[in-house]
Structure 1
Amino acid sequence: MKFAISASALATLALAVSSTSAAPAPEFAQLSARQTPEPDCRGAAHGEGIYHNVFDTACVNLIETCRNDLTTANSTDVWSFKRCVAAATCQGTHWLIETLECETGDSIPLTGQNSLDYNIYAGIVGDCAWQEGGCPMTQQNYIDFIFGTLSEINTNTWPDVNNVINNWWSSIKTWTATGETVPYLNFNDWLRFSNSQ
């Protein structure tokens, strides 16, 4: 048995097939063309210095000095700047990156960042960082890091130590799930992959 298909039926069938597989949906086409979504500058501006619904002016000071460090060095390597690392812990990595992108105009992909500069980590934990296997960051190391960094920038505002412990440090500990201390690799992962906000 032979089937005959007219030229017009064949054209209709070809049109139907091509219309269902021709082009991706417009929103997919836009995302793939951009590679990364545009930063939420309005959200970043309204949320500056706020982490888990708690505002802290000292955190705003850290964010501003981080931005200045990156601009002065003409760099987007966020985790190679001590003040940026400190700012991420009080702002969250997501909003810090959004803020920096909005204020500098640079594309700073969160997951594309280099690892935390080990010298910064060693400055937080001390000489034990250079021993075989290194050593983890303690709560006291973290508190000293935050207050020491704020002293270096000559801040005129200081965070409540309870907020530093119960909000900033606790969030890192919860995400890394390493107990009461946080080793370098886990802290590095938190900076690069937690997308904390």
Structure 2
Amino acid sequence: IVQGFQWATREGPLIEENIRNVKFKILDAAIAADPLQRGGGQVIPTARRVAYSALLLATPRLMEPVYFTEIQCPADCVSAIYTVLARRRGNVSRDMPKPGTPLYIVHAYLPAIESFGFETDLRTHTCGQAFCLSMFDHWAIVPGDPLDKAILLRPLEPAPAPHLAREFLLKTRRRKVKSDREKEAETPREEEGTRT
């Protein structure tokens, strides 16, 4: 049962990624009396399916990594930094002047997926005067329900905040299917029969 649980939490039912912040409680279990029917080959996959079912019935949510970002800039660039962070779902935790200098330090949290191109965007909007340093800080729940099939996502348009979880789910599944197909295409096939 433990191995099935570990398998289920290592490859979750939504996007086959690790599961976090979940607690399972077994209330009842009936195992076959026949030793052939209660081996690892039967119990492990069953435990995995039970864990998957429990997860899917418990309104699962996706989590994303969030970076802590420290930005140094002149005082006249602070409003531009707020604008760039707001467009990328970032939020400022505090800003303060750096003692003895004309610089400001802005502390913010930025979802990791929004950090790609962030420094370039930041420098563009501040004419190269802002510098940032980012590091992993915590995991946060992605807004929205990943299993809401009523959400229609349009290609090449950014999804609104309540639809982000569904968008992440669909794009991750699509990407993983593509990578599996590419791996299959790369494996050399053995020739059928031998040549003489």
Q: What is the TM-score when the length of structure 2 is the normalising length? A: 0.24
Q: What is the TM-score when the length of structure 1 is the normalising length? A: 0.24
Structure whose residues are more often strand by fraction: 2
Query: Which structure would you say has the larger RCO, counting Cα contacts within 8 Å and 6 or more residues apart?
Result: 1
Structure whose residues are more often helix by fraction: 1
